[in-house]
Structure 1
Amino acid sequence: MTSRFLTGLIALGALIMVAPFVWLVIATTHTTGDIFSTPPHLLPGSAFWDNLRGLFTEHQFGAAIRNSVLVSTISTVLGVIICSSAGYAFAKFTFRGRGLLFGVILASMTLPSQVTLVPLFKIMVSAGWLNTYPALILPNLAVPFGIFLMRQSMYAVPDELIHAARVDGAGELRIFFGIVLPVMKPALSALAIFLFLGQWNDFVYPLTVLRTQDAYTIPVALASLQGVSSTDYGQLLTGTFLSVVPVLILFLFLQRQFVAGLLAGSVKQ
């Protein structure tokens, strides 16, 4: 009886969580009038291609997808390298001020992003990087949580393995890229998902530094679809659906590594 009750409870929770996404998929196939009709439409309609066509021809949504893919991919690759390098240094090297520096990194995690918004904007203005890819990519490479995650995960790499590689004559770069990183695949996958999601969903900062529609990322482009007097919710929800699909696919492929990576280093032997 207890087993059936728990199964039913889990099924109910899953249904509650999936229902909004199902409604989103159905809403992409309707016009604005049909979306807000009473009673609501629970079956797909025939307006999906019209919504999609209007989204790409009237609002340059293809450019927004391109910008988000490029910025998120480059930020993720470079961010993984930088955060894992910093985590490796904090976990496996002893140097003066290590504890203090790591404490500063942890303390920076308590700061809301709005605190750094104005300083970052001024830096980008001074560098002449407004409305460019570097303005979106560079501030999101050394993420404090990513450094913390990789530092904790690096403790799982045996020190003896690193010492043996040094005795064999391997350099630090070869040890890091050839020995340490292959062992850290679950943690790297978790970090990659975390960084990709953070960049893909970021809205306030890109809105601050971007100036033209052809440079918009997906969140900014979706916000621009909301008009002052009227909004085409069919196109808006279609764009929202397109923004969710890549993230959903990425998580489905890497969900095991994501969970394993978050748990890495949580239990000391």
Structure 2
Amino acid sequence: MKKTKKTSFTMIFVYIFLTISAIFSISPFLWIIIGSTNDAHAIVTGKLTFGNQLATNFKNLFGSVNMGIALGNSARIAFFTVLLTLTTTSMAAYGFQMYKTRHKENTYSFFLLTMMVPFASLMIPLFQIIVLLRMLNSLSAIILVTSASVFMIFFFRQSFMNYPTEILQAARVDGANEFRIFVTIFIPSMKSTYAAAAIYSFMNSWNAYIWPLIVLQTNDKRTATLLISSLSSAYNPDYGVIMTGIAVATLPVIIVFFAFQKQFVQGMVGSVKQ
């Protein structure tokens, strides 16, 4: 009886703690939603109730500010970045894990060491390469640089370590080539890992700021993140429009995460469908 009461009190404390944590976690986004319904004066004065300026803020955001173009640019960059990242990094991780070569581990260790190099020290060389390739002020410059992720190679390889190699060996005995094995057997059985990697890559690409700020130099190429940043740095910022822009730019990330939440959790723990 005492053990049951102790367990009940423990669960009550856990639920109270989780409730408070959830409130603190969601309160910034809730404040953004409330701010998107008010004008700049109401936000500056600290109004914490819903207003009637949502339609006006949306009209200004997609009319005079051209948020639609910025969202389109962000969507194209995110889509092709995720596609290219998953393709190249998973194939690299597959090679590191499934093939046995003399210098494989040394090469893999060298790749991991590059993760210690800060991106700030790579910006100038990368910018010079982009200029030489005549890709300045293009979405391709963002996609190519952000899709080269050593962390994603590490993430995929760690998940691939639990894969039963007997399946691949049986497919080779049946005469299947490596590309067919990878596409038709390996990828379908690792859907959770790919979903987790896709969410991570999408969030990084969608929220990228420094590299797009350096490469993209015209207004018609700006991403949603750059557009919101430019609004907040204006001489007389319209905080209602800014809040609306932040809410709109956050929605795709929320939708993608909740749509693949189950696969994301399974992928992070290295789940493999047998």
TM-score surpassing 0.5? yes
Question: Superposition RMSD on alpha carbons, in Å?
Answer: 1.3
Alignment equivalent of 1:111, drawn from 100, 112, 117: 117
Give 1:152's aligned amino acid.
Q
Q: SS of the residue aligned with 2:232? A: coil
Q: Secondary structure at the match of 2:117?
A: coil
Amino acid at match of 1:42: L
Q: Where in structure 2 are the equivalents of 1:126-137 lying within 5 Å?
A: 126-137=132-143
1: CA distance, partners of 2:112 / 2:27: 37
Q: Does the CA-based 8 Å contact 1:55-1:235 persist in structure 2?
A: yes
Specify the code of the residue in structure 2 equivalent to 1:263: V
Q: Distance in 1 between matches of 2:215 and 2:22?
A: 38
The alpha carbon displacement at 1:227 in A equals 3.8
Q: Could you report, residue by residue, the CA deviation over 1:145-199 in whole angstroms, capped at 9, with x for unpaired residues?
A: 1000111111222111101000000010010001111111111011001111111
Deviation at 1:265, TM superposition (A): 7.2
Q: 1:170 & 1:162 partners in 2: Cα distance?
A: 9
Which residue, out of 29, 32, 42, partners 1:24? 32
Please name the residue that 1:262 is paired with: 268
d(CA) in 2 for partners of 1:252, 1:265: 18
Q: Pick from 201, 204, 207 the counterpart of residue 213 of structure 2.
A: 207
Aligned residues: 264
Q: How far did 1:137 drift?
A: 0.5
Query: Which runs of 5 or more structure 2 residues have no equivalent in the other structure?
Result: 1-8
Conservation of the 8 A alpha-carbon contact between 2:192 and 2:271: no
Structure 1 unpaired stretches of 5+: none
**Contact map agreement 1:60 1:213 (CA 8 A) in 2:** no
Determine helix, strand or coil for the equivalent of 1:229. Answer: coil
Contact 2:37 2:50 in 1 (8 A): yes
Q: 1:90 to 1:180 in 2, by over 3 A?
A: same
| 8 Å CA contact 1:109, 1:144 repeated in 2 | yes
Residue deviations 1:82-109 (CA, integer Å, cap 9, x gap): 1110111011001232112111111111
Q: Which of 171, 181, 185 is the matching residue for 2:177? A: 171
Give the letter for the 2:76 counterpart: L
1:8 to 8, 11, 16: 16
Please show how residues 84-123 of structure 1 align to structure 2 within 5 Å: 84-123=90-129
1:24-49 superposed Cα distances (whole Å, 9 cap, x missing partner):
10100000100112xx3332111111
| 1:225 aligned counterpart, secondary structure | helix
In structure 1, what is the equivalent of residue 149 of structure 2? 143
For residue 51 of structure 1, what is the amino acid of its counterpart?
Answer: N
Task: Write the distance in 2 (CA, Å) between the matches of 1:175 and 1:257.
Answer: 22
Task: For residue 155 of structure 2, give the secondary structure of its aligned residue in structure 1.
Answer: helix
What CA distance in whole angstroms lies between the structure 1 residues aligned with 2:144 and 2:213?
16
Instruction: Find out whether 1:253 has 2:256 as its counterpart.
Output: no
8 Å CA contact retained: 1:132, 1:210: yes
- Whichever residue aligns with residue 31 of structure 2, its letter is W
**Following the alignment from structure 1 to structure 2, what is the Cα–Cα distance between the partners of residues 131 and 183?**
39
CA-CA distance at 1:140 after TM superposition: 1.8
- Structure 2: distance between partners of 1:86 and 1:215: 31
CA distance in 1, matches of 2:93, 2:59: 46
Match of 2:62 in 1: 56
Give the letter for the 1:198 counterpart. N
